[in-house]
Structure 1
Amino acid sequence: MNLHKLLRTCLNLVGIAAVSISTLSTAATAQSLQPPVPLARQQIWSFLRREAEDRRESRNGGPRIPGQCELTPRDQLVWNRTPLFIWQGLNRVGLSSPNQGILWQETATAGEEQVYRVAHSGAPLEAGTYDWQFFMIAPTHVYATSFEIMDDEAYERIAAELETLQADLEAERADAETIALARAAYFTQQELASDALQELFSVSNPSEEMREGQAELIQIFCPQEKTGK
């Protein structure tokens, strides 16, 4: 079994949640709360592959640091206000914003696949643009990528939909991993790739299938460059 089969399971549960919303709410309320019709498993996987391809195309011709690859967040709108930073490459990172300056800096330790993971542990980020900075020698960063935390209204709408979705999944006795996969599926429907990836990489004590899926995603988004002899 791989992540594709797990996604199919979570999609079935997302469908159950959508039915529950429509039966418990008035027609108008249900329309505003009900998540979009779940994409097929193949469509969700295609979304992630397309996202990876779009990222690679967007940086063609630009300056690149060998081995540097940001998985999430990356140059896009983000819902989660306590984002998880996942990347390969330089291990000294920081976060800053135009209004607040430097929020934090950290030297990370790589895990499996030489992947770094740092969770934002401070106060939840406010709506606005942030720079994820990378350093060779502090305090001058040598590379940065930006992302935007969505506005309060959009954040609250999605938070309400996720709360309803999760409540219905818990009523079906779904485990934490299945719920995370369902949330990831929901984020792909909203075209929030970074949030979908964060869900997939935030599972505590992931199953073997989930670990294999994470490794596959790393290869999709950060393929090893081949060099000629």
Structure 2
Amino acid sequence: MNQLNSIQFTLLKTFLVLLSLPALPLQAAIPQPHPSVTAIKRNVLATSVGDIVDEIRPKRRGKGSRGNEGEICVFAPIKLVNFDANQEESQETPKIWTDRPLFLWQGGTPKQIELFVEGSTESLWSRDIPEEATGLLYDGEPLQPGQTYEWRLTAPFPIKQPAFQIMEPQKRDRISAELTQLQEQLQGASEETIALEKANYFAKQELWADALQELYSVSNPSPALTAAIKQIQSQNFCPKNEPNDSAS
């Protein structure tokens, strides 16, 4: 458990460091009424760093783990929950904002990925996985808000992974509107700066899969971002001492 807490601390530190780099200036996330540009930048610097620091607290994975060497460990889309010994873990299906999710994993040699509407036995989308790939972006028709999806990796036998849900329309529309404001405020910024600001936005709401997807979306990442992604990929998201909840 301590290892997983360390992972989330490292992930949040990564956001903090990236957002503090001089080469990647912070912009106003959601502007307040009529502040000066200088005031906006000062407020966002304090808010962004402060919020991220506030988020640095014990975390742990939701479902799924790796029991043996060579097994697959999925870490997106996946639930990351606050760890509190006095609270039971919520069994609620993890929700994500994007309707074209990025699937990320460690270990194993999966050959195929399949996506299903919850309860269906007919695959909605499937792709062969390139050799040595550790992730794949869904490139089918946009997934539906409020719908729950199940997916599995074949390596060589089908392995069911934890389900996820595209968040309900009302909340998703609100986030979309806020992201549009953020995008407008970042006009003229680099692709990487925009991705980092969006990742910061998602991280503050504990939408970890969406935050990670923004980091991985940069087509030509800087050395700092490349190093951060490698650091994330090197973490052990599935300690061997936790039971494997995945079912084949």
Q: 1:63 to 1:6 in 2, by over 3 A?
A: closer
Q: Hey, what does 2:118 align to over in structure 1?
A: 98
Residue type at the aligned position of 1:151? E
In the TM superposition, residue 104 of structure 1 has moved relative to its aligned partner by 1.5
- Residue 192 in 1 paired to residue 207 in 2? yes
- Residue 22 in 1 paired to residue 33 in 2? yes
Q: Hey, what does 2:4 align to over in structure 1?
A: none
Residue type at the aligned position of 1:156? D
Q: Hey, what does 2:20 align to over in structure 1?
A: 8
Q: Hey, what does 1:73 align to over in structure 2?
A: 77
Which protein has the bigger helix share? Answer: 1
Q: 1:207 to 1:73 in 2, by over 3 A?
A: same
- Listed as ranges, the matches of 1:38-53 within 5 Å are 38-40=48-50, 43=53, 46=56, 50-51=58-59
Take 2:171 and 2:52, find their aligned partners in 1: how far apart are those partners? Answer: 27
Which structure 1 segments of 5+ residues have no match? 25-33
Which structure 2 segments of 5+ residues have no match? 1-13, 36-43, 80-93, 241-248
Take 1:187 and 1:42, find their aligned partners in 2: how far apart are those partners? Answer: 11
Residue type at the aligned position of 1:92? Q
The number of residues matched between the two structures is: 199
CA deviations 1:76-100 (Å, max 9, x no partner) are 2100001111212323211111266
TM-score (norm 1): 0.73
Residue type at the aligned position of 1:132? W
- Detail structure 1 runs of 4+ shifted over 6 Å in the superposition: 62-65
Percent of pairs with identical residues: 30
Q: Hey, what does 2:8 align to over in structure 1?
A: none
- Residue 149 in 1 paired to residue 172 in 2? no
> What secondary structure does 1:130 align onto?
strand
Q: 1:175 to 1:43 in 2, by over 3 A?
A: same
8 Å CA contact 2:151, 2:161 repeated in 1: yes
Q: 1:136 to 1:197 in 2, by over 3 A?
A: same
TM-score (norm 2): 0.68
Take 1:212 and 1:179, find their aligned partners in 2: how far apart are those partners? Answer: 18
